[in-house]
Amino acid sequence: MLLSICMPTLNRASFIGETLDSILPQLADDMEVVVVDGGSGDGTAEVVARRSAVCPRIRYHRTAQTVSGAPKPSNEGYDRDCDGSVQLARGRYCWLLPDDDLIVPTALPTLRAYLERGVALIVVNAEVRSLDLSRQLIPKQMVLDGDVSFPQGEADRLMEVAGSYLSYAGGVVVRRDWWLARNREKYYGSGFVHVGTLFQQPSDLDAVAIAEPLIRVRYGNALWSDRAFMIRMFQWPELVWSLPLKDDAKRAVIPREPWRQVARLLLYRARGIFNRAEYRLVRERKPLSLWTRIVATVITWTPRGLLNVLGLLLLFVAGKRRSLAFVDLWLSPHNPFRRRP
């Protein structure tokens, strides 16, 4: 078996069918799909079963049973199921594909040529689309003029080029034996088990980043949206800065203490995910100077709609309409310019 598409899922009956339908017409005899369900209670299993009845190379495994409904999404659950799907896989390579995004019609034939190179990691680029996939928001999440190769010993350069994008697990196609030789359990609960596993021993990591987008990301559908502040301000930077890489490489991805940056707090306030509750969370976790406390307090009292408008205008003037920051502000419920359904 050459490739296993590994897909952790939880309560995605409304989306996983479309994801599988984008895969099945391309699925060759030496490829499979491994769905690991963390205990869905919404009919996800039935949606997958209808596809697996037609294509036996879809394998479904359920990891949790509940009496009173399905478990809630969590970092711990995702990380375990992500790793579990790789353990169950039979392919030489594993693609950690989300359960709501689509692959383009030529993705698997295109990917095959890269799989033959034998590198530990293939970073698959993605375009970002609206929630219903009807509009392209960003044509390339990794802005590359062409494919980029990273021989062993260049993990720092890989982190600088692709580290921010790699917070998205769907971009990861990893050699299974390489993955299983590492300590994955160490990163359970981080929400980014794939990044910790890839970079924990980076000396023998070789990779290639594909410039052509092979994924269509359904943006704004993350199960962790209600935990975005905690994840982006604490868990993601703590993971990145724990890795045995040069500080400059880690700094290119995220500052060590992003919650100290006024601009970042303003952006999160404009998106509606930095409020007084999150400010209390920061104070409980980190010692703050008087000046930082004053600035953060003022930001939490500033109207979100006003900051949203100012942020959109500044990014528009700066020519950054195709940035995730602009997209996040535009999709925010506090954007007064966006028409509501």
The mean pLDDT of 27-50, rounded to a whole number, is 95
Burial (CB < 10 A; 0-12, 13-18, 19+), residue 246, is middle
Q: Is residue 49 part of a domain?
A: yes
From residue 93, how far is each of 2, 178, 210, 232, 315 by CA, in Å?
A: 6, 9, 16, 29, 39
* pTM metric for this prediction: 0.92
Which pLDDT does position 264 carry in this prediction? Answer: 92
Give how far the C-alpha of residue 296 lies from the chain's centroid of Cα atoms, to the nearest Å.
Answer: 28
Same domain, 37 and 135: yes
Same domain, 199 and 286: no
Q: Is residue 316 part of a domain?
A: yes
Buried b (16+ CB within 10 A) or exposed e, 301-329: eeebeebbbebbeebeeeeeeeeebbbbb
Which pLDDT does position 65 carry in this prediction? Answer: 55
Same domain, 67 and 195: yes
Same domain, 54 and 113: yes
Which pLDDT does position 225 carry in this prediction? Answer: 66
Contact indicator for 91, 175 with CB cutoff of 8 Å: no
Number of domains making up the chain: 2
Query: Is residue 162 pLDDT above 80, yes or no?
Result: yes
281 Cβ neighbours under 8 A, 6+ residues apart: 229, 230
Same domain, 60 and 160: yes
Contact indicator for 221, 132 with CB cutoff of 8 Å: no
The mean pLDDT of 81-104, rounded to a whole number, is 97
Same domain, 36 and 102: yes
Give how far the C-alpha of residue 131 lies from the chain's centroid of Cα atoms, to the nearest Å.
Answer: 15
Same domain, 135 and 276: no
| CA dist., res. 244 & res. 12, Å (int) | 35
Q: Is residue 54 part of a domain?
A: yes
Query: 148 has which bridge partners?
Result: 209
| CA dist., res. 46 & res. 250, Å (int) | 42
Contact indicator for 5, 23 with CB cutoff of 8 Å: yes
Q: Is residue 43 part of a domain?
A: yes
Among residues 170, 194, 218, the one where a domain terminates is: 218
Query: Is residue 99 pLDDT above 70, yes or no?
Result: yes
Which pLDDT does position 211 carry in this prediction? Answer: 98
Q: Is residue 251 part of a domain?
A: no
Which pLDDT does position 221 carry in this prediction? Answer: 80
Among residues 170, 190, 218, the one where a domain terminates is: 218
Q: Return the CATH number at 182.
A: 3.90.550.10
Query: 97 has which bridge partners?
Result: none
Q: Is residue 211 part of a domain?
A: yes
Same domain, 312 and 194: no
Q: Is residue 281 part of a domain?
A: yes
Q: How confident is the model at residue 67 (pLDDT cuts 50, 70, 90)?
A: very low
Among residues 187, 218, 249, the one where a domain terminates is: 218
Which pLDDT does position 113 carry in this prediction? Answer: 95
Same domain, 50 and 197: yes
Give how far the C-alpha of residue 293 lies from the chain's centroid of Cα atoms, to the nearest Å.
Answer: 31
The three-state secondary structure class of 215 is strand
Supply φ then ψ for residue 83, to 5 degrees: -65, -40
Q: Is residue 129 part of a domain?
A: yes
Same domain, 53 and 197: yes
Domain hosting residue 325, numbered range: 257-331
Same domain, 210 and 262: no
Query: Is residue 68 pLDDT above 60, yes or no?
Result: no
- First-to-last alpha carbon distance for the chain, in angstroms, is 45
Q: How confident is the model at residue 207 (pLDDT cuts 50, 70, 90)?
A: very high
The mean pLDDT of 111-124, rounded to a whole number, is 96
Q: What is the pLDDT of residues 270-285, one digit of tens each?
A: 999 999 988 888 888 8
Same domain, 54 and 198: yes
From residue 337, how far is each of 136, 143, 186, 313 by CA, in Å?
A: 18, 28, 44, 11
325 Cβ neighbours under 8 A, 6+ residues apart: 267, 311, 315
